[in-house]
């Protein structure tokens, strides 16, 4: 068992209000919040590497023909309004 003292009245009210909205006690709400924040406690099998030290830019030299084709391709050139395009795209995925 762990006891947490909250000295910020506004934070306390926010916690109580959210717990009430969810229909659970403040203790249960804080317990779930802490558990969610800390995760399951297991260390990842994969170490986190620093991208600045371990990352590299993959850049292959293109032939003249490949460069000409790459210059000719204009991805999403048909899109005139990105908002409408993403709205329609999301509708299609449903």
Element (H or E) spanning 93, and its range?
helix 82-93
pTM: 0.43
pLDDT at 53: 92
pLDDT at residue 71 in the model: 87
* pLDDT for 59: 86
| Token couple for 12 | 């306390």
> What is the token pair recorded at 29?
């709400």
Is it the case that residue 23 has pLDDT exceeding 90?
yes
Q: How far is CA 81 from the centre of its chain?
A: 25
pLDDT of res. 48: 86
CA distance linking residue 34 with residue 38, whole number of Å: 6
The CA-based diameter of the chain, rounded to the nearest angstrom, is: 69
Separation in Å, CA 19 to CA 9, 14, 22, 36, 92: 15, 9, 5, 15, 37
pLDDT digits (tens, 9 = 90+) for 36-84: 888 776 777 788 889 899 998 888 899 999 999 888 888 888 899 999 9
């Amino acid at each position: 068992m762990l006891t947490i003292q909250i000295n910020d009245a506004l934070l306390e009210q926010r916690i109580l209000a959210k717990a009430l909205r969810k229909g659970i006690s403040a203790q249960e709400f804080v317990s779930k919040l802490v558990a969610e924040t800390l995760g399951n406690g297991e260390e990842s099998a994969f170490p986190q590497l620093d991208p600045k030290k371990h990352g590299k830019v993959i850049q292959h030299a293109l032939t003249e023909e490949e460069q000409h084709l790459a210059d000719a391709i204009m991805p999403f050139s048909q899109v005139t309004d990105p908002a409408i395009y993403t709205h329609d795209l999301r509708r299609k995925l449903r």
